[in-house]
Structure 1
């Protein structure tokens, strides 16, 4: 059965979401310019980099929807939001882990070059070792894998999963858009099946989906506005009242679409 038939949407919903997504993107872009960050403010630095990346994803998503691949961008935006929300619950320690993971990344690049017989400048190795001496313990595995010469976690957040982060930050996006859009990303039968139909014994592939567009735009709006709220809270951008008004108006309008 076509899963879109299981959902009854007000035809005004997707156009409204599209307008709201464009509006919050403009606000995010304007608010992200010229923001001063202290060199020792790891969370401020991280939050701004995540905001910049969310803006890029939002621009791409708006140019892509209503194509189904817009859902892929929505999922990565949700992923980034959960990482930032999880970090916010212990901002100093977790942001330091995120920022210092560049040292682990560089160490792996150095090891890869050396294993291939390529030269690495001694000053680069020395600088990296100094970084490892300071921050390496933040990323070291408690039990390194047998036979592995790499003693560090693969990701900056260690063994924490996205579900763990969602349990801390709230599972609305995880259980909603992120879960529903996963089948298309993972080549599942449902995701592909929703895109095909039969017409005179021929298969017809529809690259567009209003359902995916609605979910993706909803995720875009929530990811941008929540990222802005965190940035504003930490860096005092004076956006609080405006973001509250936008959120209230958004919820009111969306609820009006769903009233029977």
Structure 2
């Protein structure tokens, strides 16, 4: 029986990753899509503040942002987010690999506020609070919810089986949501997008943890492909 790669990303992102993996690794590993987070829009209303820029830390923030803020200049986390913002008509000024780097870059560049962070219900870095504390006024606006969901029966069977499992994880929350549904018997190799994700994934007691060279999709794809060469030999 083939080893499995379990894709836990939200539906649209998971479909993109599955296609990328199929193009890179072929059919040597079974791909199981089992989102542990669903994205749902949240009704959000802008106040009276006249913002001078907007922050997007995911493409979901771009998709669900109120129409009234377009085409403000924006600062993004990740190339996918920046691409979504450009496609939506925003003036993308800068893209950083992660939220901490974006925070530092905005502070160094002395960007003038007030700014607005369009985000989901869960955010690991409170950009609005920290920027405001630095003297750059920033509000946040929750424009989408990240709703947890159970692993699929197919994913649970793979995680409870005897064949190896490769588990790419893109956020501490997704790592926690998977771990909450354990323990699992399978030999799990975790591919984590960051050290923070790897730390949370330790709860899964994986046989191996690989952290991507950079916290972005390109580096994650490369790391997954490298692992499959060992776990799913041709």
* Greater fraction of residues in strand: 2
Same fold (TM over 0.5): no
* Greater fraction of residues in helix: 1
Which has the higher relative contact order, 1 or 2, with Cα contacts under 8 A spaced 6 or more apart? Answer: 1
Q: TM-score under structure 2 normalisation?
A: 0.29
Whichever of the two has the greater Rg, that structure is 1
Q: TM-score under structure 1 normalisation?
A: 0.27
